[in-house]
Amino acid sequence: MAPMIYTLYGFAIFFFIFWCGMWLLHLIAIVYGKYRLHKKIIPEPTDEPYPGVSILKPLMGVDPHLVSNLETFFTLNYPMYEILFCIEDEKDPAIDVVNALIEKYPKVSTSVFVGGSLVGVNPKINNMNKAYEASSYDLILISDSGIRMKEDTLLDMVNHMTEKTGLIHQMPFTCDRNGFAATLEKIYFGTAQSRIYLCADFVRVNCHTGMSTLMRKAVLEEHGGLKTFGCYLAEDFFIAKCFIDRGWKIGISSHPALQNSGLCDVNSFQARLTRWAKLRLAMVPLVIIFEPLTECMVIGACAAWAFSLLFLWEPLVFYLVHILVWFLCDWILLSIVQNGTLPFNKFDFIIGWLFRECSAPYLFLLAVLDPTIKWRNRVFKLAWGGVAQELKPRIKC
């Protein structure tokens, strides 16, 4: 009986410490987010011109927001840059969209690369590799098709690229859109995702997502170029790891990445979250133990049991207070990341927040039970360490 009691108390102490750690993350994210995000950087006078930037835009298909998203890259307030559009299929209608914008903005340096190249299993790397090899400048910006830029975002990213910094990325967020799915996306990226992202940047841990990333081409070349990462589906994680391993700093810009994909529904969003969870499980196996405990409902239940055992507190009251305070912290953090009026009211936030928090453990369980990854019309299997293998690969002529 005694060993069983010691075991129970051991678990209770573990949950108590983990619960306290989660509140520390809340505090760091709120304070650091207020300090780091949406800061206007005034460049110091210098005789050296701003470095040129090659922007890689991998495209596939056309959604309702593609034209407006791409147009924001033609109107950037930056002295010297080029846009390299990467389109794998020569029949892709995105080619017509790109050509129309090139005709509208003839003064912007642009190139279109059609066909891609087979350098690995990662479709995004295959699509971008030709453009990368033809890029003219020392700084490379990889930007997904669904990203919308403000006029000064590129300038902000370059200003954060100090002598010891090799990679600057934008923290994922979303544009203001209508509908429950859009509300759900904004809540997730402005709370759960932002909390981890800001804390990781604060303690200098790799939490890089590659939807909008500025990096030094010379460092990639030392590692063999962009094609070296074609064997991974989570190429963004391993690119950042490459920079860190070589002694370079990485960091976030003060502008969050404004995702504005035309595809916005609950099922697609949840499939995306499940896919990301599968990638994390393959790259960092300990995620299977600790990630569920970072969710409000799970750690709250564990902490309620721990406090009832250690301090004889009423578990139900503790659990409800825990959820309420977590909810308030998330509202504060989301308001900081938004940096303005939210496009929904408090009632919509309550419904979206509860739906997100209650569905998160279920989505993680799905990721554990089915490790295969479906990406558009292709299926991949991951080995430990993140190396991917495509199941039933397409036949190349």
Residue 72 has pLDDT above 60, yes or no: yes
Amino acid at 214: L
Phi-psi region of 193 (alpha: psi -120 to 50; beta: other; left: phi over 0): alpha
Q: What is the pLDDT of residue 286?
A: 73
pLDDT, one tens digit per residue, over 150-188 is: 999 999 999 999 999 999 999 999 999 999 999 999 999
φ, ψ (nearest 5 deg) of residue 266: -65, -45
Q: Which two tokens stand for residue 203?
A: 């303690």
End-to-end CA distance of the chain, in Å? 68
Contact 380, 372 (CB under 8 A): yes
pLDDT, one tens digit per residue, over 255-290 is: 999 999 888 899 999 999 998 888 888 777 777 788
Active site residue 138: no
**Alpha carbon distance 67, 58 (integer Å):** 14
Q: Where in the chain is the domain with CATH 3.90.550.10?
A: 50-170+211-264
**Alpha carbon distance 349, 345 (integer Å):** 6
Can you tell me the mean pLDDT for 244-253? 96
From 232, 227, 242, 212, select the one nearest 373 (Cα to Cα). Answer: 232
Decide the pairing of beta strands 109-114 and 81-87: parallel
φ, ψ (nearest 5 deg) of residue 42: -95, 110
* Number of residues that this document lists for the chain: 397
From 385, 115, 124, 378, select the one nearest 230 (Cα to Cα). Answer: 124
**Alpha carbon distance 388, 230 (integer Å):** 9
Q: 392 CB contacts (<8 Å, ≥6 apart)? A: 379
Q: What is the DSSP letter of 60?
A: -
**Alpha carbon distance 211, 142 (integer Å):** 7
Catalytic residue among 236, 265, 330, 370: 236
Q: What is the pLDDT of residue 5?
A: 84
Sign of CA dihedral 177, 180, 184, 185: negative
Class of domain 50-170+211-264: alpha beta
How many CB atoms are located within 10 Å of the residue 291 CB? 20
Q: What is the DSSP letter of 232?
A: B
pLDDT, one tens digit per residue, over 341-363 is: 999 999 999 999 999 999 999 99
From 273, 251, 270, 64, select the one nearest 157 (Cα to Cα). Answer: 251
Amino acid at 25: L
Percent of the chain with pLDDT over 70: 95
φ, ψ (nearest 5 deg) of residue 307: -70, -30
Q: What is the pLDDT of residue 394?
A: 54
**Alpha carbon distance 294, 342 (integer Å):** 25
pLDDT, one tens digit per residue, over 302-318 is: 999 999 999 999 999 99
What is the model's pTM? 0.93
Decide the pairing of beta strands 139-143 and 147-148: unpaired
Percent of the chain with pLDDT over 90: 78
How many CB atoms are located within 10 Å of the residue 122 CB? 23
Q: Which two tokens stand for residue 171?
A: 């923290």
pLDDT, one tens digit per residue, over 326-338 is: 999 999 999 999 9
Residue 207 has pLDDT above 50, yes or no: yes
